[in-house]
Amino acid sequence: MNLVGIGIDVVEVSRIKSSLDEFGERFLTRIFTESEREYCLKQKRPELHFAARFAAKEAIAKAFGTGIGKEVGWLDMEIVRRPSGEPEVKLSGAALKHSEAKGIKQVMVSLTHAKHYAAANAVIMAG
């Protein structure tokens, strides 16, 4: 397999918390899928988990080299948890079409969060 791109992003948790407080459901439904919202809202500090997923989506868009826009949209990327707890990326819509056109075989992501920051990196491979 060939490396297509790598991406990284860091998010201040307070920024996500502010968006949650100010825009609520409108913010959540614009950025996160239903299953992402369900998972994060069940956590003790949902803003940490939303921030990590926000960072992951930014990192994936950077790895694609497209940014967030017509080729890769917020809701076209979903961060789910495998039974092991490892994050997994599911692509749909425009992102799936874009990845298929580019011969993408694998999108890998790693998430982390602490009290004030969340970060993610992404690696995209083509075969």
Q: Pick the catalytic residue from 102, 113, 115, 116.
A: 113
Whether 113 is catalytic is: yes
Q: How far is residue 76 CA from its own chain's centroid?
A: 9
Q: What angle do CA 71, 74, 78 make, to 5 degrees?
A: 105
Q: Catalytic one among 44, 49, 57, 62?
A: 62
Residue 65 makes CB contacts below 8 A (sequence gap 6+) with: 5
Residue 62 a catalytic site member: yes
Residues with catalytic roles: 62, 113
